[in-house]
Amino acid sequence: FSISMDQFELEDELGKGNYGTVRRVIHKPTKVNMAMKEIRLELEDQKLNAILMELDILHRAVAPEIVEFYGAFFVEGCVYYCMEYMDAGSLDKLQGVGVSEEILARISGAMVRGLKFLKDHLQIMHRDVKPTNVLVNRQGIIKLCDFGVSGQLEKSLAKTNIGCQSYMAPERIQGESINNVGTYSVSSDVWSLGLSIIEVAMGHYPYPPETYANVFAQLTAIVQGDPPTLPDGFSDEACDFVARCLMKEPTRRATYSELLEHSFLVKDEERGKDGVDMVSWVAGAIEWKEKERLKASATADLGL
């Protein structure tokens, strides 16, 4: 079936990215809550049709670790893309309260299985693995979104600002500076996976804050510096797991199958479905963020 704008009731804004806004919407015919992402493009209709055709393969991206795709359409040069609404938002919004090793392993396992599914069943790489593209719901389920299915769409994105926090692997940064294309393979996603896992554990982007405002310093740190490591308190196993993702030489990085066989994830598997209380962690993280937000606004009100 096909969807169109008049079937939706627009609700609250869920977030803004580099290319547009994501809102919660209600699909009136089915009463289903969805997340609708608006992507602004400047293109003739022909190209838009090519994009919609490419996005169609998303209907085949059905797996427990992948956000469900409901359909896409365009209105006045914008592509609207409707997907499953994840009511706890993205991982970056939940980090800060802290994670135990068990929680971190569960998140990592879901990410690895999701990425492996994309590779094995759709023959695609993600290309944009980072905490804002890992979504969570209040049942504690972790799913990936925003993977690069449409080459045409990617080419048409008017990148307004290069993000201040790069998850790109060193070889991709170097490739881009040389030929603007980048030598890019699945192992580059493995780097971004490792960096995202460390970010969730630390509660903030792993490279030093001095590099947030200076893209050049940040890319230099990624290419020339040592890879980041997990903070204190995590097991040697956990540290080894991320180290295998963050090898600077891409061919030395672990494959998804190797990561799934790693004791860090094998132990997670052994804990079983109900062995880790993800629901309480999500609830606690949301509550903590809300308190932080109230504290910050109280401070602002006092004019401090």
Is the Cβ of residue 15 or residue 182 nearer to Mg ion in the bound state? 15
Site string for ligand ATP, 80-99 (x = CB under 6 A): ---xxxx--xx--x------
Whole-number Å distance between alpha carbons of 58 and 145: 11
SS3 (DSSP) at 51: helix
Return the residue of 132, 166, 196, 211 that touches ligand ATP, per CB under 6 A: 132
Residue 196 found at the interface with ligand ATP (CB under 6 A):
no
Residue 149 found at the interface with ligand ATP (CB under 6 A):
no
273 is in an annotated binding site: no
CB-based contact 33:14 (threshold 8 Å) = no
CB of 163 vs ligand ATP, minimal distance in Å? 5
**Active centre residues (catalytic):** 128
Phi/psi for 248 (5° steps) reads -70, -30
Whole-number Å distance between alpha carbons of 14 and 82: 13
Site size toward Mg ion (CB under 5 A) is 2
Question: Residue 8 touches which of Mg ion, ligand ATP, none (CB < 5 to 8 A by kind)?
Answer: none
Phi/psi for 78 (5° steps) reads -110, 140
Q: Considering only the stretches 11-19, 172-180, 194-202, 275-283, report the one whose residues sit in contact with ligand ATP under the rule CB under 6 A.
A: 11-19
- Computed on alpha carbons and rounded to an integer, the radius of gyration of the chain in Å comes to 20
Whole-number Å distance between alpha carbons of 14 and 12: 6
Q: What angle do CA 241, 90, 111 make, to 5 degrees?
A: 30
Is the Cβ of residue 8 or residue 264 nearer to ligand ATP in the bound state? 8
Which residue is nearest to ligand ATP, using beta carbons? 17
Closest CA to 38 of 56, 64, 61, 13: 13
Decide the pairing of beta strands 21-27 and 8-16: antiparallel
Residues of span 144-163 touching Mg ion by CB under 5 A: 146
Question: Residue 113 touches which of Mg ion, ligand ATP, none (CB < 5 to 8 A by kind)?
Answer: none
CB-based contact 77:42 (threshold 8 Å) = yes
Residue 133 found at the interface with Mg ion (CB under 5 A):
yes
Return the residue of 3, 8, 25, 35 that touches ligand ATP, per CB under 6 A: 35
Closest CA to 94 of 188, 236, 203: 203
Residues that bind ligand ATP (CB under 6 A): 14-20, 22, 35, 37, 67, 83-86, 89-90, 93, 128, 132-133, 135, 145-146, 163
Annotated binding site for ATP: 37
